[in-house]
Amino acid sequence: MITSDWPDRLRERGLRVTRQRLAVLEVVAAQPHKPADAIHSAVKEQLPEITVQSVYTVLHDLTARELLRRFDPPGSPACYETRTHDNHHHAICTRCGRIEDVECVHGEAPCLQAPASLGMQIQVADVVFRGICRECAAASEGLVGSGTAEA
């Protein structure tokens, strides 16, 4: 893992550099699209005393300063990533929950044009792709082939 310029980036956004913030940023950079409890387990390897509550606080502060982006997959807990400001979208596997990034063609929000008749100032248009990932597709083909598929 490349030790990046997180301390500088924290200071630029007016945040104090703390071990908790650095640990969370490094974990999220290495494992994007993970929910807070998974981030907590990974951060605990470096900082065994850190509580889930402090991880939530750190995630909240970093998201508010746009060092992290929060993504709310429909029906699943919010997850976090360090890839901010490119308005990229997500593709979710409906079987295993894997999340992949999808480039935004437009590049900034809102990506889709709302009809003028809506009369709202649109700030975000969420685009979520849903499907079945290659591994899940391969696994279900295997099950069908061997005749052991469960309903």
Binding site members for Zn(2+): 93, 96, 133, 136
Please give the single-letter amino acid code of residue 119: G
**DSSP 8-state secondary structure symbol assigned to residue 77:** -
Exactly one of 101, 110, 128, 139 binds Zn ion (CB under 5 A); that residue is 101
Exactly one of 106, 124, 131, 144 binds Zn ion (CB under 5 A); that residue is 106
Q: Compose the 74-93 pattern: x for residues touching Zn ion by CB under 5 A, - for all others.
A: -------x-----------x
Q: Compose the 110-139 pattern: x for residues touching Zn ion by CB under 5 A, - for all others.
A: -x---------------------x--x---
Run of H or E including 71: strand 69-71
Distance CA 40, CA 54 (A): 9
Exactly one of 96, 124, 138, 149 binds Zn ion (CB under 5 A); that residue is 96
Residues whose CB falls within 8 Å of the CB of residue 60, separated by 6 or more in sequence, listed in order: none
**Adjacent-strand bridge partners of 93:** 131
Q: Angle 43-5-99 (CA atoms, 0-180°, nearest 5)?
A: 50
- Can you give the binding site for Zn ion, defined by CB under 5 A? 81, 93, 95-96, 98, 101, 104, 106, 111, 133, 136
